[in-house]
Amino acid sequence: MSETPKIIYTLTDEAPFLATQSLLPIVKAFAGTAGIGVETRDISLAGRILSQFPESLREDQRIPDDLAELGELATTPAANIIKLPNISASVPQLNAAIKELQAQGYALPDYPDEPHGDVELWNIKARYDKVKGSAVNPVLREGNSDRRAPASVKSYARKHPHRMGAWSKDSKTRVAHMDGGDFYGSEKSATLDKAGALKIELIGKDGASTVLKEKVAVKVGEIVDAAVMSRAALARFVDAEIARVKDEGALFSLHLKATMMKVSDPIMFGVVVGEFYKDALARHADALKQIGFDRNNGIGDLYARLGTLPQAQQDAIKADIAAEYAKRPPLAMVNSDKGITNLHVPSDVIVDASMPAMIRDSGKMWNAKGELQDTVALIPDRSYAGIYQAVIEDCKAHGAFNPATMGSVPNVGLMAQKAEEYGSHDKTFQVESDGTVRVTDQDGRVVFEHAVEAGDIWRMCQAKDAPIQDWVKLAVTRARLSNTPAVFWLDAERAHDAQVIAKVERYLKDHDTAGLDIRILSPEDAMAFSLSRIRQGEDTISVTGNVLRDYLTDLFPIMELGTSAKMLSIVPLMAGGGLFETGAGGSAPKHVQQFVEENYLRWDSLGEFLALQASLEFVGDKTGNAKAKVLAKALDRANGQILDNNRSPARKVGELDNRGSHFYLALYWAQALAAQDEDAELKAKFAPLARALADNEAAIVGELNGAQGKPVDIGGYYHPDLARVSEAMRPSATFNAAMNELK
Ligand X SMILES: O=C(O)CCC(=O)C(=O)O
Ligand Y SMILES: NC(=O)C1=CN([C@@H]2O[C@H](COP(=O)(O)OP(=O)(O)OC[C@H]3O[C@@H](n4cnc5c(N)ncnc54)[C@H](OP(=O)(O)O)[C@@H]3O)[C@@H](O)[C@H]2O)C=CC1
**Between 19 and 212, CB nearer to ligand Y:** 19
**Between 65 and 581, CB nearer to ligand Y:** 581
Shortest gap between Cβ of 718 and ligand X (angstroms)? Answer: 16
For 253, 300, 334, 480, 574, the CA distances from 348, given in Å and listed in that order, are 12, 11, 7, 39, 33
Shortest gap between Cβ of 660 and ligand X (angstroms)? Answer: 27
Q: Is 260 in the site for ligand X (CB under 6 A)?
A: yes
587 binds, among ligand Y, ligand X, Mg ion, none (CB under 5 to 8 A by kind): ligand Y
Residues 343-382 that bind ligand X (CB under 6 A): 352
Are 298 and 344 in contact by the 8 Å Cβ rule? The answer is: yes
**Between 569 and 648, CB nearer to Mg ion:** 569
**Kind of pairing, strands 223-229 and 457-463?**
antiparallel
Shortest gap between Cβ of 295 and ligand Y (angstroms)? Answer: 21
For 4, 10, 78, 477, 670, the CA distances from 30, given in Å and listed in that order, are 15, 17, 21, 32, 9
10 binds, among ligand Y, ligand X, Mg ion, none (CB under 5 to 8 A by kind): none
Residues 545-584 that bind Mg ion (CB under 5 A): 550
Among 129, 352, 381, 394, binds Mg ion (CB under 5 A): 352
Contacts of 548 (CB under 8 A, 6+ apart): 384, 387, 413, 489, 523, 542
As a whole number of angstroms, the distance between CA 462 and CA 627 comes to 42
Contact pattern from residue 522 through residue 551 relative to Mg ion, giving x for each residue in contact according to CB under 5 A and a dash for the rest: ----------------------------x-
Residue-wise DSSP of 17-67: HHHHHHHHHHHHHHHHTTT-EEEEEE-SHHHHHHHH-GGGS-GGG----HH
**Between 42 and 550, CB nearer to ligand X:** 550
Residues 568-587 that bind ligand X (CB under 6 A): 584
**Kind of pairing, strands 196-204 and 411-413?**
unpaired
Shortest gap between Cβ of 87 and ligand X (angstroms)? Answer: 8
**Between 584 and 619, CB nearer to ligand X:** 584
563 binds, among ligand Y, Mg ion, ligand X, none (CB under 5 to 8 A by kind): ligand Y
Q: Is 241 in the site for Mg ion (CB under 5 A)?
A: no
87 binds, among ligand Y, Mg ion, ligand X, none (CB under 5 to 8 A by kind): ligand Y
Shortest gap between Cβ of 562 and ligand Y (angstroms)? Answer: 8
Residues 584-603 that bind ligand X (CB under 6 A): 584
CA angle centred on 486, ends 480 and 489, rounded to 5°: 150
Q: E strands of 563-686, at which residues?
A: 568-572, 578-582
Q: Is 421 in the site for Mg ion (CB under 5 A)?
A: no
Among 259, 297, 542, 705, binds ligand X (CB under 6 A): 259
Contacts of 717 (CB under 8 A, 6+ apart): 14, 96, 100, 592
**Between 586 and 620, CB nearer to ligand Y:** 586
**Between 499 and 587, CB nearer to ligand Y:** 587
**Between 500 and 565, CB nearer to ligand Y:** 565
Residues 120-149 that bind ligand X (CB under 6 A): 134, 137
Give the Cβ contact number of residue 506 at 10 Å: 12
Contacts of 264 (CB under 8 A, 6+ apart): 229, 424, 428, 457, 459
Q: What strands lie across the sheet with 428-430, from one edge to the other?
A: 188-191, 223-229, 457-463, 428-430
Shortest gap between Cβ of 651 and ligand X (angstroms)? Answer: 23
Q: What are phi and psi of 267, to 5 degrees?
A: -70, -40
DSSP H helical ranges for 104-230? 119-131, 137-140, 151-159, 183-186
Shortest gap between Cβ of 57 and ligand X (angstroms)? Answer: 26
**Which listed range, 86-94, 189-197, 350-358, 426-434, lies at the site for Mg ion (CB under 5 A)?**
350-358
3-state secondary structure of 437: strand
Q: Is 45 in the site for ligand X (CB under 6 A)?
A: no
As a whole number of angstroms, the distance between CA 468 and CA 143 comes to 10
**Between 257 and 629, CB nearer to Mg ion:** 257
3-state secondary structure of 160: coil
Output the 3-class SS for 521-561. ECHHHHHHHHHHHHHCCCCCEEEECHHHHHHHHHHHHHHHH
Q: Is 550 in the site for ligand X (CB under 6 A)?
A: yes
Which residues sit at the interface with ligand Y, rule CB under 6 A?
Answer: 85-88, 137, 259, 347, 350, 353, 563, 565, 583, 585-590, 603-604, 607
Shortest gap between Cβ of 559 and ligand X (angstroms)? Answer: 16
467 binds, among ligand X, ligand Y, Mg ion, none (CB under 5 to 8 A by kind): none
* Residues binding ligand X (CB under 6 A): 88, 134, 137, 259-260, 352, 550, 553, 584
